[in-house]
Amino acid sequence: YQNKPKKGNNAVKKLLLLSLLSFSGMAFADGQSILNASLKSYKESGSKEFISTLLKNSPIAKEKSMLVSLESTFPTFETFFGKPMSINVLREVTVSQKVKNIFFTFNYETGPIFGMMTTFDGPNGEVVTYVTVNANQGAVLPDDIIEGHTK
């Protein structure tokens, strides 16, 4: 006598596998997941670990000038605004089947910074291929987000 798997078990197994993949660090389900994992790293280990987590599996993770710029930027924001607290995705824009632009606020104890990142859904899952942050919302966010309009 063999125990035959129930038909519903395959769907549950697939769901569990997908859940494991999306939380493994190899692939992220969406921009908010990438940012949440990065923020957790920031709170636990500092801004360098935040950047490392944000750029995990990204081709730009080896770009020295970008890394130096990001590594010097976040301590400056901490000097002005205190500890990092939360991140909110304001909008995800699907540019193509594999590319998204994600606009977000990074909330510190006493003020926000604003950011935009581009993600690419490639062989290693969704990875960040570009990121920029600025205390000036007009330098990063589209006008309709700043003015409170939605698309």
pLDDT bracket for residue 26 (50, 70, 90): very low
pLDDT at 33 over 90: no
Distance CA 114, CA 33 (A): 17
pLDDT at 10: 45
CA 63 to chain centroid, in Å, comes to 18
Name the token pair of 73. 């930027």
pLDDT at 151: 56
pLDDT at 149: 66
Instruction: Tell me the sheet residues that pair with 118.
Output: 101, 130
Distance CA 151, CA 138 (A): 18
pLDDT (tens digit, 9 = 90+) per residue, 94-151?
Answer: 999 999 999 999 999 999 999 999 999 988 788 999 999 999 999 999 999 998 865 5
Mean pLDDT of 15-31: 41
pLDDT (tens digit, 9 = 90+) per residue, 38-90?
Answer: 999 999 998 888 888 888 888 888 888 888 888 888 899 999 999 999 999 99
Name the token pair of 29. 């389900």
The beta strand positions in 14-98, using DSSP E, are 84-94
State the helix-helix crossing angle for 47-54 and 64-81, rounded to 10 degrees. Answer: 130
Of 34, 11, 13, 3, residue with least CA distance to 126 = 34
